[in-house]
Structure 1
Amino acid sequence: MSDGNPFFNYLFNSYNNDNSYNNDNSYNNDGYRFQNDWNAEQHYRYNDQQYSYGNGEGSGYGDGSNTGNYEETENTQDNENTQENEENYEDPGEENVDYGDNFVFNHPFNTFEEAFDRCDEVAYGLGFHLVKAKYHMEKSPPYKIVKCDRHGPYNSKAKDPLKPQRKSKTKKFMCPFSLRMIKKGEGVWVVVPKCGVHNHKFGKFLEGHKRRAKFTEEQKELIKQYRQSHVKPGMVRHAFTLRYPDQPPPILKQIYNENARLSAKDKDGRNSVQYMLHLANRANYISESVKHPETKKLTHVWFTHPESVKMFKAWPNVILIDSTYKTNKYGLILVQCVGVTPVGKSFLIGYTLIENEGKEGYKWVLRRLESLLEPGVRPTVIVTDHERGLIAALPDVFRTSHHFLCLFHVYTSIEARATNMERNGNFGKALAHGAWKKVVEAKTFDECTMEWNELRKKYCCHPALISYLELTWWHKIHMFGKCFTNLVLHFGNTTTSRVESAHAQLKMWLGSAELTLDSIWKRADVMLHGQHIEIRKTLEDSISKTVVTNMYYGNIFSMLSGRVSATAIEAIFP
């Protein structure tokens, strides 16, 4: 391929012989580029402009003067073709073509970094990147070698090449392209092409390249702020596109890598559990954890925000407890305990991660709740779903509190069981929201008993269904029937909808089911901070704003403004 062609003879000689820098047909020691007959009219394009040089003696920088004969020309047709090629994503950069002329400059550079950055900008415009390869600062004159990022062979890091290794990829392609950057004097650097040929085609898209993947200190600080606000990497990339429109947007992997670097720096050698407890202690949380005595594995951990403790002590009347799943990579169950403010807003008393939902696990959770209250103070109502472990643990801790079962779960359970028994969805819906609803909403116990007897007569031909209702729900009617619950001050809380909403809000902040424990704590802390701001706002509004009641009642409640919450007055006269 190289026979008879001085261009290829020069190429392969210079690539195989590192001393070819002084060859007669390439460059002299002063950094001049001599022209041969075969490349008398070389053209190159950069930044939509075409440059050419003819058969002058030489070009470059040497002895303080520019001896090259450069002429800037415009080629409208060529620019239009270039734009069309970019729009059609045609293959850029042919292999075995000399691109060294693109790196011949008619001026020196003050520093090596300035020279390198300028050359890398030219390379980026062509479709490749440069890397710093070798330094020879001890020679005279001193110089540094810069090469294509695809130079050299692939170096496997496998300790035993005979063992099966993970599949890997490499960009190394033994590319011969290289530049010399010679230090001519203090503050004088000259770029001299050594080999201008690539043995590969250039990249079409350079997003994510390691040279373009480097963030500036300003960008790193911006990513740090986004990370503290738990902005997803996809949104961070979009923010970078808006903030830096002239720069290629980062790929997601770059943002993930920067987040991982920041995380490792923050943890300072701690594991996930240690870092989570460290963060909680630093934020003055009330926390407690339990590890398995043998395996030392975390089995229980509890967190309460200091602001939530004040709220719980002020408003301990109603507690809603429920669990949820798929919040962490360890399979721990998340249990949230929610209270209610006088203005009807929910607040998170505390949350816990437990290994299982047995009686002892829930008993440990309830003990943590009890420790937050003043001695002798007990909640009036505790609302839960039909979780057996929690139901069994409640009498051992809060014996004097009224336990309500979530009315929504009662209806859905009965509808599902009846539908499954009769294989008829309309049948289950008619039972749950018809005859059974009359039993639940009866205002007196006598009326409730009468409705129950009517239901038994109506569905007497379904003995299995009647048996299920009697054994599972009828003997618990005092936990959800209105003739019983209306005797207790529960402020309208007869379902666990508030804690279900708390689950949804927390999972929105978590954004993943595979988080580490420290990530859960940090995101929950941000959520709680916002929740407390909203609660303080509603409390202030309730005190400072006057309630405008029905004209029929006139100003009989004017003396209560600022002393009784607007929610309480509106509950009396809606």
Structure 2
Amino acid sequence: MRAHVNNDGDGIDYSDHFTTTIFFASSMEAFNWAYEIGLRLGFGIKRASNKRVGRNANLRQDYFVCRMGGRGPVNKDADSLMRGNTATAWCKCKFSMKVVELQENKWKLVMRSGFHNHALTLYCDGDRYFAKFDEDELAYIDAQVRAHVRPAIISAGLHQRNPEKSRPNRRQMYNRSQKVRAEERDGRNPAQQMLALAVQHKYVHYWVIDQETDELTHVFMAHPEAVKMFRS
């Protein structure tokens, strides 16, 4: 690793970590390779712009940058609906690289700048970027949510499956749980879902809806087995 003097950030050139003689089969394959290295070093990488190159402009160059660099947030006027009490992590970081298409199924990664002008992430647990879920984890979470497992238990299960990965924060788990439950409701609100499940699972049920306000005012439900026990 080469160290150079830099006025901002940690003064380290991270180019050596991404210098490789490997040729990639696609731009996405190169991005995934660089992305994983960035996570291990403590910073995120995102896809930025791309352009066509070559004699007939049939080859492509894609650019990858630090998640705190690239094009900044869109300016909003005072009348916009954007909340005014929010902040952004964007700090015009110049760390960047490009992947060049040499020919079909042959891409080469080239560093442009290996410096960051900000501190790297030292503690990744709870960071939404470093602890975001992959497809396998999402499938696991969805199955656990449908089995009514608490988010804290799901989080512990994820950690046991992959101890090396950063733990998600509680809000990530709740957000995913809410999304799964919303999909299960299929457009119904919680009260409607409760009544629909009562019918589906053949509960003894009775409810009253105010005809003027269309509000649910009274509900009675009993599990079929509980009714059998009561009758015996």
TM-score normalised per structure 2: 0.84
Kindly indicate whether residue 72 of structure 2 is the aligned counterpart of residue 153 of structure 1. Answer: yes
Kindly indicate whether residue 88 of structure 2 is the aligned counterpart of residue 170 of structure 1. Answer: yes
Q: Distance in 1 between matches of 2:109 and 2:82?
A: 45
The match for 1:117 is 32
Is the contact between residue 213 and residue 254 of structure 1 (CA under 8 Å) also seen in structure 2?
A: no
Kindly indicate whether residue 175 of structure 2 is the aligned counterpart of residue 260 of structure 1. Answer: no
Q: Distance in 1 between matches of 2:158 and 2:45?
A: 24
Q: Distance in 2 between matches of 1:100 and 1:217?
A: 30
Identity of aligned residues (%): 30
Q: Distance in 1 between matches of 2:82 and 2:97?
A: 38
The match for 1:62 is none
SS at match of 2:39: helix
Aligned to 1:185, which of 98, 103, 123? 103
Aligned to 2:211, which of 285, 289, 293? 293
Aligned to 1:221, which of 113, 129, 139? 139
Greater helix percent: which structure?
1
SS at match of 1:182: strand
The match for 1:204 is 122
Q: Distance in 2 between matches of 1:245 and 1:299?
A: 48
Is the contact between residue 142 and residue 182 of structure 1 (CA under 8 Å) also seen in structure 2?
A: yes
**1:442-487 Cα deviation digits (max 9, x unpaired):** xxxxxxxxxxxxxxxxxxxxxxxxxxxxxxxxxxxxxxxxxxxxxx
Q: Aligned-pair distance for 1:119?
A: 1.0
Residues 209 and 115 of structure 1, relative CA distance in 2, 3 Å threshold: farther
Is the contact between residue 15 and residue 114 of structure 2 (CA under 8 Å) also seen in structure 1?
A: yes
Is the contact between residue 143 and residue 183 of structure 1 (CA under 8 Å) also seen in structure 2?
A: yes
Residues 312 and 214 of structure 1, relative CA distance in 2, 3 Å threshold: same
Kindly indicate whether residue 129 of structure 2 is the aligned counterpart of residue 129 of structure 1. Answer: no
Q: Distance in 2 between matches of 1:96 and 1:197?
A: 7
Q: Distance in 1 between matches of 2:52 and 2:230?
A: 70
**1:134-177 Cα deviation digits (max 9, x unpaired):** 2335745311111110123233667715x994521211112122
Q: Aligned-pair distance for 1:282?
A: 1.0
Quick one: which amino acid aligns to residue 154 of structure 1? P
Is the contact between residue 131 and residue 165 of structure 2 (CA under 8 Å) also seen in structure 1?
A: no
Q: Distance in 2 between matches of 1:185 and 1:208?
A: 41
Q: Aligned-pair distance for 1:288?
A: 1.8
Matches within 5 A, 1:549-560: none
Aligned to 1:235, which of 153, 162, 172? 153
Matches within 5 A, 1:494-505: none
Quick one: which amino acid aligns to residue 256 of structure 1? Y
Which of structures 1 and 2 has the larger relative contact order (alpha carbons within 8 angstroms, sep 6+)?
2
Q: Distance in 1 between matches of 2:167 and 2:24?
A: 29
TM-score normalised per structure 1: 0.36
Is the contact between residue 126 and residue 169 of structure 2 (CA under 8 Å) also seen in structure 1?
A: yes
Q: Distance in 2 between matches of 1:159 and 1:98?
A: 40
Quick one: which amino acid aligns to residue 203 of structure 1? T
Is the contact between residue 10 and residue 116 of structure 2 (CA under 8 Å) also seen in structure 1?
A: yes
Residues 313 and 272 of structure 1, relative CA distance in 2, 3 Å threshold: same
SS at match of 2:24: coil
Aligned CA-pair RMSD: 2.6
Aligned to 1:98, which of 6, 9, 13? 13
Q: Aligned-pair distance for 1:221?
A: 2.6
Q: Aligned-pair distance for 1:308?
A: 2.0
Q: Distance in 2 between matches of 1:236 and 1:168?
A: 30
Q: Distance in 1 between matches of 2:60 and 2:50?
A: 8
Is the contact between residue 134 and residue 145 of structure 1 (CA under 8 Å) also seen in structure 2?
A: yes
Q: Distance in 1 between matches of 2:75 and 2:171?
A: 23
Q: Aligned-pair distance for 1:106?
A: 1.7
Q: Aligned-pair distance for 1:98?
A: 3.3
Residues 164 and 191 of structure 1, relative CA distance in 2, 3 Å threshold: closer
Aligned to 1:311, which of 225, 229, 232? 229
Unaligned runs of 5+ in 2: none
Q: Aligned-pair distance for 1:109?
A: 1.6
Aligned to 2:2, which of 21, 30, 43? 43
Greater strand percent: which structure?
2
Q: Distance in 2 between matches of 1:246 and 1:96?
A: 27
Q: Aligned-pair distance for 1:195?
A: 2.5
Matches within 5 A, 1:150-549: 150-151=68-69, 152-155=71-74, 160=79, 165-314=83-232
Quick one: which amino acid aligns to residue 292 of structure 1? D
Residues 285 and 157 of structure 1, relative CA distance in 2, 3 Å threshold: farther
Residues 295 and 159 of structure 1, relative CA distance in 2, 3 Å threshold: farther
Quick one: which amino acid aligns to residue 155 of structure 1? V
